[in-house]
Structure 1
């Protein structure tokens, strides 16, 4: 590639990333208006614990499971822009059907349909990010992309929570405005992808046989998928219980529920200032291990939560863990995936992890029903399922210590953390010194005015 071609590619990549950042912000704003309230919506429609488990699984997992066929299609067609456009557009159109829903079964079908259609955008987005970013700067790129997602969903969730809190009344009427706003922003996100001018071409040729061979012979990918099955199941066990705790134990209102999502999102935005740099300098593994092992704290605190204050604490922890592992895990997947098969590799990973999370969530709901059917009280049944999830999350998180990095990195995790801490302390000291200087100048100026006034 000559210098002119390299410069054109760099310019196209910079422009493409800017469009993807804007698209991510708008899509996340649209999703943030309704996504966090999907399990609550089902509960308000009268869903049972097992139905809540199914809804929670669909809400969290169905997009991942649907990514397998979409990822294969993206890699086969070698076009990403049409899938980004259609994913946002069809998701927006499907959610409009919720305006006519009155029963739990209809609700579940529409949610499943909307997320399956939206799933086509994910492998296309990840594939483009892999092409537009270099390995040494990929962590920062993904951190910025995730920050844009949080910055979009956070205000949307607050606005939607306030609307739901103020409107009240019949369930269908409560969600009318958020659903319409979700459609508008998702449609805008779809349209903005049309501005992407060009897509990097693949040098390799896609084939099902080559893809299957890569999956069999890629030790990094095989181990990561294996670990995701164990943790995915133990994570999913507690999902239906989270919704029941928020609605029936803590009895949080809609605005408080929106604030909980804001706490986790805002914390993630702050922490991601550093995780992208750490992932690029010290490697992906330390952050993945930290984020995945720490997930046991979430059901632990939910199990003892009785007020919104405990839920605020757990969502603060969620923000830290999300920022720690999400960026590093996405970068790791791109590192270990062949360029022409990134879409299918990421899709198969998400589907493997998602399918076991789905199974865990459904199992968690049925376990709760089973425990209560056996004569245990509500609190004892909840605590039993929570305890199983806590132990499973801790043990499966520690297994991530066995993954290996495909590349060597210039710094160590502890050294990079210390360096970041020292730089932040220096920045704070600089700000304090500047504030004191300005304050001294103001005092000196005020004293001069008083002195001139006394002379007169």
Structure 2
């Protein structure tokens, strides 16, 4: 790939190679990038079971609808607080691998213990606690990848990273209902635990580094988490707000669009979920393609493309009246997520200084949790009052308006 930077800039970039990258190179048995990608496949395979499987398991094991919603909201809040807290601490320690290990261990042991639990109250507490500890892992992995890549290839690598996530998700999500209905909760939690343990072993054996010394901690990171958030650059905060709006649209795609297809169009839940699976498979090559485009054309440009495609996706859904229309709409979303995933992850890393990437990635990942809390209270209520089609139209217009936030609010070039 031809370089778009001068030789002087390239030499300066090599001279300023991140602390984490210098500690890893020469210490690994496998390429750290390959290890992180393989970790992501296993990690997201577990998530593909847990995200749809947890409410299904709770609903079929004595929890009523209100309890399920309360538990899921508590898990989202726990993950939100955890991602911000662990991201802040990883910036202070400047050791992403420790927090990657910590989060994966938390998930693996937490779901292992759930195999033996029968008390609903204890299970609820453990679900929330596991979400808090486990949330340390993914932002650390993304921050680590951003620090062992360069500006020239970061978009492409983030695209491959999210393609690995789509692959893991697509493989496992198809079997979630079967595992819970036919095998039960013990096998469900046990398989999730095995996948997290496997990802932990892979990262532990594949990425070997020395422990970070206390002298490696940068003095500028010794601030309270809230101060760290407000010290982030305004372009990043504007981008973060735009990400929350985007993830509200993504939540709509995962929750309300399948309900619209299944019940209002009469396609049924099986067809609706198969269309979701189709989208995940389409995302695998498209993530890589748009990640490469973001290296060539710029992160901001590709993020804006994603927002405009998302707005178009919502407006198309407002007009869908048949299976063929639904197929076109869900195929379009493969391009939406493909454009957003790699470019946005690289963009988030490049809008802040290296010493703030942990909390920045924590906030960026937590924007999904924020959207998951806001969407039911806004988008969900709107769909109940005005119907799905008007709700899709409002969401589409919102995405187009959010483009102006990125155009005028994110002026820093990445």
Same-fold status (TM-score > 0.5): yes
Please state which band the TM-score falls in when normalised by the shorter chain. Answer: 0.7 to 0.9
Structure 1 residue 190 corresponds to structure 2 residue 200: yes
Distance 1:186 1:276 in 2: 27
Distance 1:27 1:189 in 2: 6
What is aligned with 1:180?
A: 190
Distance 1:365 1:107 in 2: 28
Q: CA deviation at 1:132?
A: 1.0
Alpha-carbon spacing, 1:94–1:203, altered in 2? closer, same or farther (3 Å): closer
Distance 2:262 2:56 in 1: 7
Q: Is the 1:53–1:239 Cα contact (8 Å) retained in structure 2?
A: no
Q: Is the 2:41–2:167 Cα contact (8 Å) retained in structure 1?
A: yes
Structure 1 residue 151 corresponds to structure 2 residue 167: yes
Alignment of 1:194-209 (within 5 A): 194-195=204-205, 196-198=207-209, 204-205=218-219, 206-208=221-223
Structure 1 residue 325 corresponds to structure 2 residue 336: no
Of the three residues 269, 285, 290, the one matched with 2:305 is: 290
Q: Is the 2:84–2:366 Cα contact (8 Å) retained in structure 1?
A: yes
What is aligned with 1:390?
A: 396
- Greater Rg, structure 1 or structure 2? 1
Distance 1:207 1:7 in 2: 23
Deviations 1:151-202 (A, max 9, x none): 22222223445556xx56xxxx555544332221111112222121116976
Q: Is the 1:32–1:157 Cα contact (8 Å) retained in structure 2?
A: yes
What is aligned with 2:134?
A: 118
Of the three residues 74, 78, 85, the one matched with 2:90 is: 74
**Normalised by the size of structure 2, how large is the TM-score?**
0.76
The DSSP-based 3-state class of the residue aligned with 1:69 is helix
Distance 1:28 1:174 in 2: 21
CA RMSD of aligned residues (A): 4.1
Q: CA deviation at 1:142?
A: 1.2
Structure 1 unaligned segments of length 5 or more: list them. 372-379, 409-456
What is aligned with 2:33?
A: 17
Of the three residues 97, 102, 106, the one matched with 1:86 is: 102
Query: For this pair of structures, how many residues does the alignment match?
Result: 390
Alpha-carbon spacing, 1:80–1:210, altered in 2? closer, same or farther (3 Å): closer
Structure 1 residue 265 corresponds to structure 2 residue 280: yes
Higher helix share: 1
Distance 2:399 2:240 in 1: 16
Q: Is the 2:85–2:225 Cα contact (8 Å) retained in structure 1?
A: no
Alignment of 1:288-367 (within 5 A): 288-303=303-318, 310-351=325-366, 354-367=369-382
Distance 2:71 2:187 in 1: 22
Q: CA deviation at 1:351?
A: 3.5
